[in-house]
Copies of this chain bind each other. A is one copy, B any other.
């Protein structure tokens, strides 16, 4: 069983003066890292954090990526070349590398690539505490608790992590009929906009690029709700379709504002509102960080309903894993 206390002791045992955290992954895995990066930016007084597509992070190779840093490398398959490359560079730079994968027999399980390896299970019966986003939050929450005296949200985070599974079950039950109706109505829609903000900006992004583009071959775009009024809203007319994710917590005002405008000007609007799912069980102080768990699952729900109505299986690919799109590593 993974133990975040032991891991944090191991990190601090090697270097007590950690200043930076780097998050390296691609696509769906990058979405799982972003909320924890957002958490650090929002809560830590000491840590700097960078979260980028793995290969971009490697090409930048920030001067801060050194032995005073921790690097999270996440690859579900454990074989993503960009993630392997990022782990290699992180190790070369002296960073403490935490590699996270679903497959213990993958390329990422090479002891030269990490300081700690976490292999997680995946499936409907696995708690959200024990999948990558939950694991990362547990590690960083523990780290802040042990290293920053005035960090006060430790217990609230732990309590939230114990609530999130039941909230997600709620969310699926409550939203299922809407998702099915949406899928029926928009199964032939040529193009959709997905809106979200704050910690779940990455889940609006993942809804678009993973659930719809990758798994349904549907064209769509993701927009940060905060940016909607600064350009994107000019496309709004009554033939346009928007999925609006509405967070619980501080950034809710951003999502409500774009929702209200789209309604007023007759956009076709699907609202997914985290506040309807029992998020009040989570403390206000930390509720922001639990929105991404919910919206990841909402992307899955809508994708699955669309799959049914469109006759397009979610695991059907034309390119991924089927054709060659390898690249020559920049790392010699």
Interface flag for A250 (CB, 8 Å): yes
Mark the stretch among A98-106, A163-171, A221-229 that contacts chain B.
A221-229
Interface flag for A217 (CB, 8 Å): yes
Interface residues of A in 108-166 (CB under 8 A from B): none
- When chains A and B are docked, how far (Å) is the Cα of A270 from the Cα of B140? 43
B-chain residues with CB within 8 Å of residue A320 when the two chains form the complex: 229, 233-234
Is there an interface contact between A229 and B325, defined as CB atoms closer than 8 Å?
yes
B-chain residues with CB within 8 Å of residue A230 when the two chains form the complex: 26-28, 30, 53, 80, 209, 214
B-chain residues with CB within 8 Å of residue A44 when the two chains form the complex: 63-64
B-chain residues with CB within 8 Å of residue A263 when the two chains form the complex: none
B-chain residues with CB within 8 Å of residue A215 when the two chains form the complex: 234
B-chain residues with CB within 8 Å of residue A279 when the two chains form the complex: none
- When chains A and B are docked, how far (Å) is the Cα of A198 from the Cα of B30? 16
- Closest Cβ of chain B to A210, distance in Å, is 5
Interface flag for A69 (CB, 8 Å): no
Interface residues of A in 35-61 (CB under 8 A from B): 38, 41-45, 48, 50, 53-56, 59-60
Kindly report which residue of chain B lies nearest to residue A198, judged by CB atoms: B56
Interface flag for A251 (CB, 8 Å): yes
Mark the stretch among A7-15, A89-97, A180-188, A253-261 that contacts chain B.
A253-261
Is there an interface contact between A221 and B221, defined as CB atoms closer than 8 Å?
yes
Interface flag for A311 (CB, 8 Å): no
B-chain residues with CB within 8 Å of residue A231 when the two chains form the complex: 27-28, 209-210, 213-214
B-chain residues with CB within 8 Å of residue A319 when the two chains form the complex: 233-234, 236, 261, 265
- Closest Cβ of chain B to A12, distance in Å, is 21
Interface flag for A330 (CB, 8 Å): yes
Which residue of the partner chain, among B30, B43, B253, B257, contacts A63 with CB atoms under 8 Å?
A: B43
B-chain residues with CB within 8 Å of residue A291 when the two chains form the complex: none
- Closest Cβ of chain B to A37, distance in Å, is 11
- When chains A and B are docked, how far (Å) is the Cα of A42 from the Cα of B56? 11
Q: Given A59-B198, A265-B319, is A327 in contact with B257 using a C-beta cutoff of 8 Å?
A: yes
Interface flag for A197 (CB, 8 Å): yes
Is there an interface contact between A224 and B45, defined as CB atoms closer than 8 Å?
no
B-chain residues with CB within 8 Å of residue A224 when the two chains form the complex: 53, 56
Interface flag for A218 (CB, 8 Å): yes
B-chain residues with CB within 8 Å of residue A222 when the two chains form the complex: 221
Is there an interface contact between B251 and A59, defined as CB atoms closer than 8 Å?
yes
Interface residues of A in 301-325 (CB under 8 A from B): 317-320, 323, 325
Is there an interface contact between A62 and B41, defined as CB atoms closer than 8 Å?
yes
Interface flag for A191 (CB, 8 Å): yes
- When chains A and B are docked, how far (Å) is the Cα of A221 from the Cα of B325? 22
Nearest 5 A/B pairs, CB to CB: A27-B230, A221-B221, A53-B226, A214-B231, A209-B231
